[in-house]
Chain A
Amino acid sequence: MAGRRAFAALLDQDSVAVLEYQEEQGGFRLVDSRERHQRFSAPDGAADAVLELLAELKAKNASISIVLQHFGSFFHTLVLPPADRENLRQIIQREIQRSFNISDPAFAFSTGSSVERRDSARAGGQVPRQVFIVGAPMSVVDSIQNRLAKARVRVEGMTVVPEVFRRLYDTLDGSKEATAVLVCLRNGPHVAFFVNGQLELAIEPPLALEGEAPLDTSVIIDQLERGAIFLRQQARGTVATRLLLAAPAADYENLASTIEARTGMHVASLGKGIGSPESVVAMGAVIAARAEDPLDIYPRPPALEQRLQGAMTGTGLLTTTLFTAAAVAAFWASMQVMVVKRSSDDIERTQARVEQTLPALSRAKESAQGRERIAGIRAALRASTSDRTALAQLMDGVGNAPPNGAQLDSLSIARVADGLKTTLFAHAEGATGPAAMSAATSFYRHFKSVTGLKHLEFSSAYGSRSASSGVTSPPGEDLHFTVTFVAPSGER
C-alpha cells in the first residue's frame, strides 16, 4: 500500500523482534530490525513492545505481518476425510477444544494433499486429506488486536511458527527429499520435518531446565533425534537426509558440524542472508501472510458477500428491513424538515420584502391621509356653502310668495333629518270666504310649484265672526292658514 511501511514481527513470551523490509522485484530487502528480550507475562505486553519498537523505527503508518509464539498458540495437523468446509470447521473446533483445552479458540485451517496410508482401496474413493490448523485463544488474539488497532497498525496476517516453517520451506527450498528444518530461536530449537515437500511433523522447543541454555548443542541434538524417531513412526520409516539450519551466526558453524557428525544429515543454511533466526521467522510471517490460502488467525471483518448474505437471511433480514425502514423514515423526516425550512425561508424572504416596502408605504399612507383630509375639508366647505345656498333659496322662495291678499305672519325653519322643516303661518282676507281661501291657496300653490319640497301640507281655519260685525262692519272673511313642507338642505 502506498505510503505504508512494511514490517514483520515475531511475538514471543521471551522476546519480540520487528524488522522492516521493502518489497523488490523477485523478493524482499531487509531495511532495519529491532529486537527486545524480556519476559512478557501477557500478550498485550508483547504487543506494546512491538509498538515501542515500531516507534523507535519511526513507523507511523505501519503494515505488519505477525508470527505468534507461545501465549497458547498452536499448530496442529489432522487427517480428515473430505467434507464440507463448515462441517470441517465444526469438527476442528471440537478437536481443538478437546486437544488443547481452549474453549474459545481463534483458529484457521487449510487442507493439504491427500494422505493414503492404506494399501487397500477405499469405498467411494474418498481419500483423507491432511488439514493444517493454526490457532490461539481468542482472548490472546483480541488483546493483540486491541493494542494494534488503537495504534492504527494494519495487520497483514497473524500465524504461528510451524506455518512459517511450511511457507519458508516452500519458498526457499521445496525439495521432495525428506528434510529436517531446525530454527534456533532464543527460546529454544524449533524442529520440523518435511516429506515429499509437505510438512509432516513440527516440534516445539523443550522446556529449558534450571541453568540449562536453551540452545545447548546436546539439547538440540536430542531434540533432532527425538524428532527423527517420531518421523519414522509417523511416516513409515522415513528418515531425513538433509537439514536446513537457521541459527545465530556465532553458533552456526559449530552446530552444523556437530549435527552432521551426530546425525549424518547434510546441513544447509535456511535464510542465511536474512539475518538472525528471529528475522528469518519474521520474514516467514510475511511470506505466510501473502500466500494464496493463508492460515491467518487475525480477526477479519466478514467479506461484503458474506455480510450481504447475512443481512438478507434470518434475523439479519429483519434487522436489515428495520434499518432500511429507519433510513427511509429518517430520509422522509429530513425531507419534511427541509420543506419546513424552505417554507420558513420563503416566508422570511417575503416578510423582508414587505418590511422593505413598509417605509415607502408609510409615506404613501401619510400622503393619502393628507389627501383624504383635504378632500374632507373641501367636502365640508362645499356642504356648508350648499347649505347656505339652500337656506337662501328657501328664504327667497318665502319672500317671493305672491301676496294676493295673503300675509305671512311668522316663519319657522327647523333642521330635521331629511332637510329643513319649514312652517309658514299666514292669513288671507277676502270679501267672502272663498275669496280668502283663493288667496290662501294661491299662496300655497306658489310653494307647490317649487321643486324639491317634500311633505307639503296646507291647513286653514276661518276667524270667528262677531254679532255686531255683520251689521256695522263691512262684510269680509279672515282665513288663517298654515303651510308646512320640508325643503332640501345643503348638508346631510
Chain B
Amino acid sequence: MASPTPAPRRVQASFNQLLGMAVSLLIVGLSVWVGVRAGTAAKDLRAKRSAWEATADQLATVQQQFRVPSATESASLIAESSRMGAIAVPAEEKLNLVDMLGRLAEACALSSVRVNAVAASDSAIVPERPIAGTQVKTAEYAIAVEFAGSFGNARKFVSSLPPSVVLTRLTAVRRDGGVFYQLILSVYELDANSGS
C-alpha cells in the first residue's frame, strides 16, 4: 500500500488546486468574452453574407439575362454613334455652323440673309438632350438669323434646320410689301470634358 500524502505535498496539492480553479475561472471568463464577441461577429457576418449572396444572385441573373449584341447590332450601334455629331457640335464648330446656316437660308431662296452669333439669353427655354456617356449642353452663344422672303420659304428653312440647333424665338413682320424674319436659334454643344 502506498504511503499517505505528507503535509508539504498536501500544501502543493492545495496550491495546484487553487491554481487550477484560477485558471479555470480565467478560461471561463476568456471563453465567454471570446464567445460573445464571436457571436456578435457571426451575427454581423450572417447579415453581410445575406447581402453578398443577394448581390451575387442578382449579378448571376443579370449575367444570365444579358443578351450579347450580335455583329449586326454592333455595326448598327457603331453607325448610330457616328450621328452624335448631328445632335450637338463641338465649340470650335461655331463659325462653321454660322456659315452653314447662312448658306441654308440662301438655299431656301430667302433674301437679305444675315447670320450672327449672339449671347444666349438666360431666359431662353431650351429642351435638354440627355445622352448616356456624353454631356450635351446649351452653348453660351445663340445664332440670330435674319432674312426676308415668303412664308413658305421661311417654313422650308425652319424645317431644314440641323438637329444641333433649336428654334427659341421667331418673329415675322410684314413691312414695305415684304415679310422680314428674325430667328434666334439655341445651339447644342458637346462638352469637351465628356467622351463623345
Nearest B-chain residue to A315, judged by Cβ: B17
Stretch of B36-44, B98-106, B110-118 lying at the A interface:
B36-44
CA distance A18 to B135 in the complex (A): 102
Bound-complex Cα distance A416 to B48 (A): 51
Q: Is A107's beta carbon under 8 Å from chain B?
A: yes
Number of interface residues of A (CB under 8 A): 89
Cβ of B68 under 8 Å from chain A: yes
Chain B interface SS verdict (over half): helix
State how many angstroms separate the Cβ of B149 from the closest Cβ of chain A: 13
Residues of A close to B30: CB separation below 8 A: 333
Chain A, 94-110, CB within 8 A of any chain B CB: 103-110
Does B77 lie within 8 Å of A329, measured CB to CB? no
Decide yes or no whether A332 CB sits under 8 A from chain B: yes
Docked complex Cα distance between A463 and B114 (Å): 35
A83 within 8 A of B: no
Q: Give A344 to B52 CA distance when docked, in angstroms.
A: 12
A138–B1 touching, CB < 8 Å: no
Q: Which residues of the other chain, A, contact B53 by a CB distance below 8 angstroms? A: 350
Asked, given contacts A322-B21, A350-B56, whether A377 binds B42 with beta carbons under 8 Å apart, the answer is: no
- A55–B185 Cα distance when bound, in Å, is 113
Residues of A within 8 A of B174 (CB): 407-410
- Of listed B2, B20, B151, residue having the most chain A CB within 10 A: B2
Is B107 at the interface (CB under 8 A from chain A)? no
Shortest CB distance A345–B (Å): 10
Contact between A332 and B1, CB atoms less than 8 A apart:
no
Contact with A along B143-187 (1 / 0, CB 8 A): 000000001101100110101001111111110000000000000
Interface residues of A in 255-308 (CB under 8 A from B): 293, 295-297, 299-300
Inter-subunit contact A138/B6 (CB<8 Å): yes
Determine chain A's interface SS by DSSP, over half rule.
helix
Q: Who on chain A is nearest to B127 by CB? A: A491
A103 to B173 alpha-carbon distance, docked (Å)? 136
Query: B119-132 interface mask toward A, CB cutoff 8 Å, 1 = contact, 0 = none?
Result: 00000111101111
Report which A residues bind B (CB closer than 8 A): 85, 89-90, 93, 103-110, 135, 138, 293, 295-297, 299-300, 315-316, 318-319, 322-323, 325-326, 329-330, 332-333, 336-337, 339-340, 343-344, 346-347, 350-351, 353-354, 357-358, 360-361, 364, 367-378, 380-381, 383-385, 387-389, 391-392, 395-396, 398-399, 407-417, 489, 491-492
A-B contact pairs, 9 of them (CB 8 A): A89-B4, A93-B4, A337-B35, A339-B39, A346-B45, A384-B166, A391-B167, A395-B151, A396-B155
B residues sitting closer than 8 Å to A (CB atoms) are 1-4, 6-9, 14, 17, 20-21, 23-25, 27-28, 30-32, 34-35, 38-39, 41-42, 45-46, 48-49, 52-53, 55-56, 59-60, 62-63, 66, 68-69, 77, 80-81, 83-84, 86-87, 124-127, 129-134, 136, 151-152, 154-155, 158-159, 161, 163, 166-174
